[in-house]
């Protein structure tokens, strides 16, 4: 595939936070190993002056998704905690970047970065039509954010060299990719971008 980043494109980096890294509250194997590739994408969009949206899971301390409150997850990404911070090596440019906090209401969870956030209007303001999505977790927030984008009429690409999943049950990630493909996403990787080769 040959892709170039245009004025209608944005990058969405999903939930690259300490609690999702190995050793974190909801650690994902290999999540730290995609940081450098994500940084490659961030630099590419930065170089071409296109916006980058960094989402973060940002839960109140009594969040409904936590086991102690009847949810399915260990306590994670509590607002302002160390675990909720972005990975220390994640490259966050000083311009043209936005942080989107999700899951911020105590009594409902949001796997999609479009749920209860300003992401849609921020993209609309810039006339963004196509979004490239990477980060964690393939089988939760990445998938739901990507399907949310499709539902809102965006073209989407799943950056398969810059994602990792939870894989609570074997096959969850493969099923998530299948679902995204059926919904109409493209799969791409860094070498597909011609701007990067020149
Ligand atoms: C996520 C589980 C719980 C995610 C967030 O970012 O994919 N997964 N909260
Ligand atoms: Zn969460």
What is the maximum alpha-carbon separation in the chain?
52
Domain contains 43: yes
What pLDDT score does 193 carry? Answer: 95
Q: What are the pLDDT tens digits along the chain (198 aa)?
A: 899 999 999 999 999 999 999 999 999 999 999 999 999 999 999 999 999 999 999 999 999 999 999 999 999 999 999 999 999 999 999 999 999 999 999 999 999 999 999 999 999 999 999 999 999 999 999 999 999 999 999 999 999 999 999 999 999 999 999 999 999 999 999 999 987 765
Beta bridge partners of 55: 14, 100
What pLDDT score does 11 carry? Answer: 98
- Residues with a CB atom less than 6 Å from ligand 1: 15, 57, 65, 73, 136-137, 140-141
What pLDDT score does 54 carry? Answer: 98
Which residue's alpha carbon is nearest to atom 4 within ligand 1? 141
The two tokens of residue 107 are 């009594």
Ligand nearest to the CA of 76: 2
| Number of separate domains in the chain | 1
Residue 23 CA to ligand 1 center (angstroms) comes to 15
Q: For 138, what's the count of Cα atoms within 13 Å in the CB-facing half-sphere? A: 29
Range of the domain at 175: 9-197
Domain contains 3: no
Q: Give the Cα-Cα-Cα angle 183, 53, 56 (nearest 5 degrees).
A: 90
Residue 59 CA to ligand 2 center (angstroms) comes to 7
CATH number at residue 97: 3.40.50.850
Domain contains 4: no
In the block, tokens 């936005």 appear at 98
Domain contains 1: no
> Which residues have a catalytic role annotated?
15, 102, 141
Domain contains 74: yes
The two tokens of residue 65 are 């998704």
Q: What is the rounded distance in angstroms from the CA atom of residue 133 to the CA atom of residue 13? A: 6
What pLDDT score does 113 carry? Answer: 98
Residue 153 CA to ligand 2 center (angstroms) comes to 25
Predicted structure pTM score = 0.98
Which residue's alpha carbon is nearest to atom 6 within ligand 1? 141
* DSSP annotation string for 140-184: IIIHHHHHHHHHTT-EEEEEEEEEE---SSTTHHHHHHHHHHHTT
Ligand 1 atom showing the smallest separation from residue 142 Cα: 7
The two tokens of residue 39 are 């940084």
Peptide bond between residue 47 and the one before it cis (omega within 30 degrees of 0): no
What pLDDT score does 195 carry? Answer: 79
What pLDDT score does 197 carry? Answer: 61
Q: Which of 111, 117, 169 to mutate to test the pocket of ligand 1 (most atoms within 8 A of CB)?
A: 111
3-class SS at 189?
coil
Domain contains 60: yes
Neighbours of 27 (CB within 10 A): 17
Q: What is the enclosing helix (H) or strand (E) of 38?
A: helix 35-47
Beta bridge partners of 164: 136
Describe the strand order of the beta sheet including 97-102 as a list of residue ranges: 97-102, 52-57, 9-14, 130-136, 155-164, 186-188
């Amino acid at each position: 595939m040959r892709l170039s980043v245009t004025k209608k494109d944005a990058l969405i980096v999903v939930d690259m936070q300490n609690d999702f890294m190995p050793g974190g509250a909801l650690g994902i194997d290999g999540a730290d190993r995609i940081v450098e590739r994500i940084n490659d994408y961030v630099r590419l969009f930065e170089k071409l002056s296109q916006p980058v949206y960094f989402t973060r899971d940002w839960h109140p301390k009594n969040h409904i998704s936590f086991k102690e409150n009847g949810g399915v997850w260990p306590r994670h990404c509590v607002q302002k905690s160390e675990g909720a911070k972005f990975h220390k090596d994640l490259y966050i440019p000083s311009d043209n970047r936005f942080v989107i906090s999700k899951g911020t209401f105590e009594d409902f969870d949001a796997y999609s970065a479009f749920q209860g956030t300003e992401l849609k209007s921020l993209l609309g303001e810039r006339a963004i039509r196509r979004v490239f999505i990477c980060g964690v977790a393939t089988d939760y927030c990445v998938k739901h954010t990507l399907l949310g984008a499709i539902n809102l009429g965006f073209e989407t690409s799943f950056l398969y060299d810059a994602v990792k999943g939870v894989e609570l049950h074997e096959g969850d990630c493969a099923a998530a990719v299948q679902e995204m493909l059926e919904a109409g996403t493209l799969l791409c990787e860094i070498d597909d971008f011609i701007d990067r080769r020149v």
